[in-house]
Structures are given as C-alpha cells and as structure tokens.
Amino acid sequence: MSQLFLRKDVHLCVTDNAAVFLDLSRDKYLGLNAESLPPLLELMSASVHDERHVRLLADGLQAQALTTTDPSLGYPLAPLTIELADKPLPVLDSPEQFDICADVKMRDVLTLLMSYLRATFNLRCHSLRYAIHNAKERKQRLHRESTTSNLDLVKRLVHVFQRIRPLIYTAHNKCILDSATLVEFLAYHDIYPTWVLGVKTGPFRAHSWVQYGQYVLNDNPVETRRYTPILAV
C-alpha cells in the first residue's frame, strides 16, 4: 500500500475515543469514531499491513481529499503535537506596570480597533484558512525567538487588550475572532504568540485560544486543557 500524507490544508488530532480532521480549504471538520482508530493508527505507523479494513479507511480518506500519496502535496500523516500552555497569564506585579495599564492611550484603542477590523475582514471576507495562513506567514517572516524577557510586555499588552475589548466587541461565543484579533494586536507590537485551535469529542466541540510559552492569554487553562490541539500557528 502506498504511504499516505495529509494534504497541506488538512490537520489531524486523535482524542481518547475519536480522530478529527480539520480541512481548512473547506472550513470543515470530519471525524472518525473509535472503531476507525486502529486502522488509522496502522496507517500512521512506519509499516502498514495490507489488511482490508486499513485499505478501506485509506480509500475513504483519499476519497474525502484528506490525504494524498504524493509527498509534494502533503506532509506526514500524524496528529499535531505541541506543548499545551497550562498557566493563566500572571497579573501585573508592580505599581509602574499598573500605572501603564490603567493609562490606556488613544493609540491603544486605535490599534485594537484596527486589529479587530483586520481579523474580521480576514475571517468574513476571506476565510479561516486565509487568516491562519496570513498569521503563519507573518510569524515565519518576522518571528523573533520568544523568551521570558518579553513576558512583562506581553502582560501589559494583554491587560490593555482586556480593558479595551468590551468597548469594541464581545468575546462571548467568538473564540476564533477573539484569538485572531489578539494575534493581530500583539503583532503590531512585534509579539508573535501561538494561535491554537482545539477540539473535544463526545460530544464534539471546537475552541480557539492564544498561548505564549506556558501561559494562556485569552482563556482559562482549565478550559483549554479540555481540548486536544488540532492546529497551531
């Protein structure tokens, strides 16, 4: 059997009882139940046995345009593995920082408004795929290695973001828009965190958040730990 590769706009994660594919080109999630996990694991292994149930799954994945046998059109068939942030962002811890945060400038409001408009335009007038690829390309082009020396700046920016956000939009049930806006806002300040999309199954739910090192920036880590990352930029 020919080796399978995930198509370049397809992402995979495996939970305890299912596997989920995210096809960005169609903005669609597709799932495999627990019965399909053993043949999927066979397909992901170094040596695939030519068994009927494995071949049937392979044919089905190719029919759905999730996989390809051409390595130039895809990448290894494997679930995403990233280090999941597990801490809330610390509060500002000095009087000087609190003064900076409290004294929100008009330029901060304008920067967040521009970030929101850019994120909204990317998602509504283009697609999630466009927004993801745009953030990925920018990060690869401009990214400086993240270090803890940036943490104080990140804390100030996120606290400013949280103070201004209710004046512009609500984040309730808008996790993708909120994450895209925060990514744009931080990019204005030359900070490039990790934008994560995750899922959970039984029942299925999808979620999005932004993390910086071990810190979750726009959510509670207790909530994000319930999800298995499927895409990270």
What's the pLDDT score for residue 104?
78
Over residues 1-33, the pLDDT tens digits come to: 688 999 999 999 999 899 999 999 999 999 999
Q: Is the pLDDT of residue 49 over 80?
A: no
Residue 169 lies in a domain: yes
Residue 76 has pLDDT above 90, yes or no: yes
Greatest Cα pair distance, the chain, in angstroms, is 67
Identify whether 82 is part of a domain. no
Same domain for 66 and 175, yes or no, is no
Q: What is the pLDDT of residue 150?
A: 84
**213 and 104 in one domain?**
yes
Please tell me the distance from the alpha carbon of residue 162 to that of residue 217, in angstroms, as a whole number.
10
Domain count, the chain: 2
In a shared domain, residues 112 and 216: yes
Does 96 have pLDDT greater than 70? no
Q: Note whether 15 and 129 are same-domain residues.
A: no
| Neighbour-count burial for 111-141, b at 16+ CB within 10 Å, e otherwise | bbbebbebbbebbeeeebeebbbbbeeebee
pTM of the model: 0.90
Q: Is the pLDDT of residue 102 over 60?
A: no
Residue 148: the pLDDT is 53
Radius of gyration of the chain (CA): 20
* Domain end call among 76, 107, 130: 76
**Smallest Cα–Cα separation from 82: which of 195, 207, 222?**
195
Residue 141 has pLDDT above 50, yes or no: yes
Rounded mean pLDDT, 107-131: 96
Return the C-alpha torsion angle 180, 11, 74, 4, nearest 10.
180
On whether residue 127 sits in a domain, the answer given is: yes
Residues 105 and 184 in one domain: yes
* pLDDT tens sequence across 192-202: 999 999 999 98
Sequence-distant (6+) residues with CB within 8 A of 71 are 3, 5
Spatial distance between the Cα atoms of 231 and 143, rounded to a whole number of angstroms: 18
Q: How many residues can be counted in the chain? A: 233
Residue 158 pLDDT > 70: yes
Domain of residue 17, residue span: 5-76
Enumerate long-range contacts of 72-75, CB under 8 Å, 24 or more apart.
Answer: 73/5, 73/7, 73/8, 74/5, 74/6, 74/7, 74/8, 74/10, 75/5, 75/6, 75/8
Token code pair at residue 52? 């009927």
Domain closes at, from 55, 76, 97: 76
pLDDT in the model for residue 231: 98
CA atoms within 13 A on the CB side of 141: 7
Quick one: 41 and 105 in the same domain? no
CA–CA dist 193, 216 (Å, integer): 10
What's the token pair of residue 3? 């080796």
